[in-house]
Amino acid sequence: MTDWKTRIVFAGPDGKFPAPELSGLGDVIHISFAETRLPAYDLLVLVDPPLDWLERTHLERVTGAVSLLAMSSPTAQHIRVGLNRLGVDVICDIDAIYIEVERLRSQLWTARAKQAILSLEQESQ
Amino acid sequence: MTPTRVGLIDDETQALKMFQWEFGEQFEVYTFISGEDALAALADGLVIDVLISDQRMPKMPGDSVLVAIRQRFPDIQLLITTAFADVEPLRRCVNEAGVYGYIEKPWKPDLIVKMVEEARAKQLQKELENTRTQAHIKAWEEKTRGRRIGDIRSICNVLELPETVADKYLDVVTKVASTHTSHWTDVGLLSESDDDRIALDFLRACQLICAEEPRHSNARHTDSIPLVRSMELITRCSGPPGPSFDVTKEEGRLTVNFDACGAFGDSYLDPLSARDQETLFRNALLLLALAEMERVGWSLTVDPREDRLMGSVTFPT
């Protein structure tokens, strides 16, 4: 059975940005950039992550997960590290977070539905 | 195993040569002096697994090249390389070209190898998934079509029509009906119980036509019924400028050649066909027209044109 619940990890600088209301789009865990390890997630939202955090935190491309880098003024280095270490799927402005999360969530669900169908096929063989 | 086919686009010939020297033994390397050259080579059929593009180039910048390649060749894995920190093109590379990675210049050969190998692994995984998906779609289509062919035979049994009518129906509908291309999201949308309901609707449509028969064939000899049904079928499928006919006579037989000028429509055998009453009615009408023709020794021949119902009805004189 496909689990349609989306685990969203929202990492942002505490108190600086009002987090958009993402709870309607899935289960949300908020973490700050004091953490150096990410919880398991389906959808990762990074809001203005410091470059050194991106470089020292344990990051990896997670198969079947998607990630979003939201920045007020991204630098090439942020993009490089985010892309190469995390495989970031979208880079957007802070005010576009909600709409991009919604879009990525549909993308995620589509991929899951496909996997579910293929798994059913394997089971039936 | 075939080596990974890696392309590099860079406007500096030195850079292309260095890349060839460095990675030529490990990968199958192709180099291009501009984005236009790479696009032309790909359009000519060159197959590349991973393509790396420099960003700053005189004619077409790297982000534009990669977006164009993503649109036309979605299976190629893309990497961007640059010595400059231009943010907007990089953002475009991620959002619009879906690049796998970003390599800073000057290159570190180890990083190039790592990125190329990772990108190729991702590509192979996608290819495998696509192959499995296609096989699954095909199996689903065949299963549904098989079930519906079985339904047609059962309907013929219920209506006491010879089984040869079902075969003729399958032959005709395969030639003249339109079919739809399935996508993996269609798979499983139609449950077996829905399919049973469609079969029952098809049977009801046949019964309705049979029940209305006396009105159509009032005061006519039974042998003229096939022409009535054929005419109704042609009229239902007619499009502008309307159906046309011509008659040819040969010894012992008469042939009415027709062109309905319109499409027959969706096939009942197609899993994705429209399930409306009109579609079922048209399909039922075809089945019954064929049954009547079979009974009195007439035959219907259609030209295999999916966009138009045309053919001929032949009967002995």
The reply to whether A2 falls in a domain is no
Inform me whether the C-beta atom of residue A113 falls under 8 Å from chain B C-beta atoms.
yes
pLDDT, tens only, A40-97: 999 999 999 999 999 999 888 998 899 999 999 999 999 999 999 999 999 999 999 9
Range of the domain at A109: 7-124
The reply to whether A1 falls in a domain is no
The chain-wide mean pLDDT, for chain B, equals 89
The beta-carbon contacts of B190-193 under 8 Å, at least 24 apart in sequence, are B190/B144, B190/B271, B192/B147
- Side-chain-side CA neighbours of A16 within 13 Å: the count stands at 12
pLDDT at B219 over 50: no
**What per-residue confidence (pLDDT) applies to B180?**
87
What is the edge-to-edge ordering of all strands in the sheet holding B253-259?
B244-250, B253-259, B310-316, B299-302
Neighbours of B112 (CB within 10 A): 23
Q: Domain tally for chain B?
A: 2
Q: How far is B202 from chain A (nearest CA, A)?
A: 29
Q: What percent of chain A has pLDDT over 90?
A: 58
Size of interface A-B (CB pairs under 8 A): 55
Which residues does chain A have within 8 Å of residue B100's beta carbon, measured at their own beta carbons?
Answer: 83, 87
Please report, in angstroms and rounded to a whole number, the separation of the first and last CA atoms in chain A: 17
**What per-residue confidence (pLDDT) applies to B222?**
52
pLDDT, tens only, B35-85: 999 999 999 999 999 999 999 999 899 999 999 999 999 999 999 999 998
Q: Domain tally for chain A?
A: 1
Range of the domain at B27: 5-107
The reply to whether A22 falls in a domain is yes
> Between A76, A113, A114, which is nearest B87 by CB?
A76
B23, B172: one domain: no
Instruction: Name the pLDDT band for A125 (thresholds 50, 70, 90).
Output: low
B100, B206: one domain: no
B166, B252: one domain: yes
| Sign of the dihedral through C-alpha A20, A21, A27, A28 | positive
Q: How far is A28 from chain B (nearest CA, A)?
A: 24
Taking an 8 Å cut-off on Cβ atoms, the answer to whether B184 and A89 are in contact is no
Which of A34, A62, A64, A39 has the alpha carbon at shortest distance from A49?
A34
* CA distances for B220 relative to B224, B225, B227, angstroms: 7, 8, 11
Two structure tokens written together for A32:
């700050």
B102, B197: one domain: no
Inform me whether the C-beta atom of residue A118 falls under 8 Å from chain B C-beta atoms.
yes
Q: E strands, chain B, where?
A: 5-9, 28-32, 50-54, 77-82, 101-104, 244-250, 253-259, 299-302, 310-316
Measured distance CA(B99)–CA(B77) in Å, rounded: 7
Q: How far is A50 from chain B (nearest CA, A)?
A: 16
**What per-residue confidence (pLDDT) applies to A19?**
65
CA angle B140, B141, B146 (to 5 degrees): 100
Nearby residues of B249 by Cβ (< 8 Å), 6 or more positions away: B255, B317
- Side-chain-side CA neighbours of B185 within 13 Å: the count stands at 5
